[in-house]
Amino acid sequence: MTDIRLSLAVEAGVFAVPETGTILVLRPHAGADLSALPKERVRIVQGFRPDYDAFAAAGYAVSPEPESRHDAAIVVLPRARVEGRALIAAAVASLPVGAPVAIDGARTDGIEGILRELRGRVTVGEVISKAHGKIFAFAAPETSVFADWQAQPTVLADGSVTLPGIFSADGPDPGSELLAASLPEKLSGFGADLGAGWGYLARAVLTRPGIRQLDLIEAEHMALDCARRNVSDPRATFVWADATRYQPAQRYDFILSNPPFHTGRAADPSLGAAFIRAAARMLTPSGTFWMVANRHLPYEATLRDAFREVEEVAGTGAFKIFRASRAAVATRPAPGRSASAVDRRRPAR
Ligand SMILES: C[S@@+](CC[C@H](N)C(=O)[O-])C[C@H]1O[C@@H](n2cnc3c(N)ncnc32)[C@H](O)[C@@H]1O
């Protein structure tokens, strides 16, 4: 969301803030200035844990999934078209007919395409173009108008379930496949998958009988919901957390990761670097970190800062697999639970 577009839309009456009732804001990014809206009536839905935490810390009512009925809605358009459509359908489904729905998005996230699609279904009001994006609004129609936009799970060939917008929703990532194939059979003890996504890697590693427990640590609530369905092994636990801040109750014997490497559209190796430092902090002194990275991403220096032993153990032209051990973290924070949600319940089937 760009703050300037929202303020302009409210000032110009393009988005008419209702006199009473709640305003749903779907998936704003941390740092978005929502001060054009009455804070006590704003209900944020944000399933990405770092953004969720930022809004909660700023005193907003925030939940990972849409919960109840509202009186107006603002959708911040995500990058994935199918996910954007699903958010619009969810917004409309939470409103009475006629309530205002605003869509805010950057050109690079496809706001022009979604505007064209919406014009085929509803009457869109004035469009404000500003700061490389657009904001506009329409009156919520019957839910059925967007029934075909509602989020539909994809069922992969092996029966795994994914949802639009999560990483590798169309099938296992080749980097994760390579990491899974490179892991030793003897992995054992207490482990974690940092950025576990819909559970591909975790499920592949849980074939090892020596593993006592595997924590699937994932920031994206939707992805973790899929993992709960896809990983039925009772040794799996599901942790909705920012892996870069999470403090496990006990240090891990091994950690796996195919770390995230994008912020929006741009490659951002600092995310992977933060995962490497987090892994070093969370491992026992004899613990091992296994990681896959796109070959062009420069993680070697960070790995060598964080671990005394680092080896590239496998690779292809596209990916490299590292094994790192003997974490070189000088002062480690005492282990203890973070504010993250740890869920040991099995998924509803
Ligand atoms: C490259 S994907 C790997 C997913 C999965 N391990 C797989 O192999 O398919 C990286 C994952 O990290 C998650 N992620 C991004 N930032 C995160 C964070 N700060 N903490 C935990 N997970 C995060 C993303 O949602 C995504 O699912």
How far apart CA 116 and CA 95 sit, in angstroms, is: 22
- The response to whether residue 253 sits with its C-beta less than 6 Å from ligand 1 reads no
Task: Kindly calculate the radius of gyration of the chain based on its CA atoms and give it in whole angstroms.
Answer: 22
3-state secondary structure (DSSP) of residue 337: coil
Domain boundary residue, one of 115, 149, 183 = 149
How distant is the alpha carbon of residue 261 from its chain centre?
Answer: 12
* Length of the chain, in residues: 349
How far apart CA 187 and CA 206 sit, in angstroms, is: 9
The answer to whether residue 57 is domain-embedded is: yes
Q: Are residues 122 and 17 part of one domain? A: yes
Residue 331 is predicted with a pLDDT of 46
CA 197 to ligand 1 centroid distance, Å: 5
Task: Read off the amino acid at residue 241.
Answer: A
Is residue 181 within 8 A of residue 193, CB to CB? The reply is no
- The response to whether residue 196 sits with its C-beta less than 6 Å from ligand 1 reads yes
Residue 124 is predicted with a pLDDT of 98
Domain boundary residue, one of 88, 121, 149 = 149
Task: Read off the amino acid at residue 73.
Answer: A
**79-115 pLDDT per residue, tens:** 899 999 999 999 999 999 999 999 999 999 999 999 9
Distances in Å between the Cα of 186 and the Cα atoms of 26, 153, 177, 182, 284 are 44, 34, 18, 12, 17
Q: Are residues 60 and 37 part of one domain? A: yes
CA 251 to ligand 1 centroid distance, Å: 20
Kindly state the tokens that stand for 272.
């992977």
CA 116 to ligand 1 centroid distance, Å: 32
The answer to whether residue 346 is domain-embedded is: no
Is residue 54 within 8 A of residue 226, CB to CB? The reply is no
Q: Total domain count for the chain?
A: 2
Q: In sequence order, which residues have a C-beta less than 8 Å from that of residue 26 and are 6 or more positions away?
A: 45, 66, 73, 74, 75, 76, 87, 90, 91
Sign of CA dihedral 231, 234, 239, 243: negative
Q: Are residues 176 and 142 part of one domain? A: no
Residue 86: burial class (beta carbons within 10 Å; 0-12, 13-18, 19+): buried
Q: Are residues 140 and 18 part of one domain? A: yes
Q: Are residues 219 and 120 part of one domain? A: no
The answer to whether residue 237 is domain-embedded is: yes
Q: Are residues 180 and 283 part of one domain? A: yes
- Indicate which atom in ligand 1 lies nearest the CA of residue 201: 8
Q: Are residues 321 and 209 part of one domain? A: yes
CA 136 to ligand 1 centroid distance, Å: 32
Residues paired with residue 256 on neighbouring β-strands, in sequence order: 193, 290
Name the residue with the closest Cα to ligand 1, atom 3.
258
The answer to whether residue 345 is domain-embedded is: no
Is residue 258 within 8 A of residue 345, CB to CB? The reply is no
Is residue 158 within 8 A of residue 181, CB to CB? The reply is no
Q: Are residues 258 and 225 part of one domain? A: yes
Residue 237 CB-half CA count within 13 A: 17
Taking Cα atoms as reference points, which of 230, 226, 216, 222 lies closest to residue 258?
216
Q: Are residues 130 and 160 part of one domain? A: no
User: What percentage of the chain reaches a pLDDT higher than 90?
Assistant: 87
The answer to whether residue 36 is domain-embedded is: yes
Give the domain extent around 225.
154-327
Is pTM beyond 0.85? Reply is yes
10-47 as b/e: b if 16+ CB within 10 A: beeebbebeeeebbbbbbbbeebebebbeeebbbbbbb
How far apart CA 126 and CA 110 sit, in angstroms, is: 18
**38-57 pLDDT per residue, tens:** 999 999 999 999 999 999 99
The answer to whether residue 81 is domain-embedded is: yes
Q: Are residues 293 and 180 part of one domain? A: yes
Question: Rounded to 10 degrees, what is the CA torsion of 155, 156, 161, 164?
Answer: -80
Residue listed under structure tokens 């994935």: 80
Q: Are residues 95 and 240 part of one domain? A: no
Q: Given its phi and psi angles, is residue 341 left (phi above 0), alpha (psi -120 to 50 degrees) or beta? A: beta
CA 218 to ligand 1 centroid distance, Å: 6
CATH of the domain at 137: 3.40.50.150
Residues paired with residue 194 on neighbouring β-strands, in sequence order: 217, 257
Is residue 32 within 8 A of residue 76, CB to CB? The reply is yes
Domain boundary residue, one of 129, 149, 169 = 149
Q: Are residues 114 and 217 part of one domain? A: no
The answer to whether residue 334 is domain-embedded is: no
The answer to whether residue 336 is domain-embedded is: no
3-state secondary structure (DSSP) of residue 98: coil
- The response to whether residue 216 sits with its C-beta less than 6 Å from ligand 1 reads no
Kindly state the tokens that stand for 258.
């195919």
Mind listing the pLDDT tens digit of every residue in the chain (349 residues)?
Answer: 556 899 999 999 999 999 999 999 999 999 898 999 999 999 999 999 999 999 999 999 999 998 889 999 999 999 899 999 999 999 999 999 999 999 999 999 999 999 999 999 999 999 999 999 999 999 999 999 999 999 899 999 999 999 998 999 999 999 999 999 999 999 999 999 999 999 999 999 999 999 999 999 999 999 999 999 999 999 999 999 999 999 999 999 999 999 998 766 566 789 999 999 999 999 999 999 999 999 999 999 999 999 999 999 999 999 999 999 999 964 454 454 443 444 443 333 2
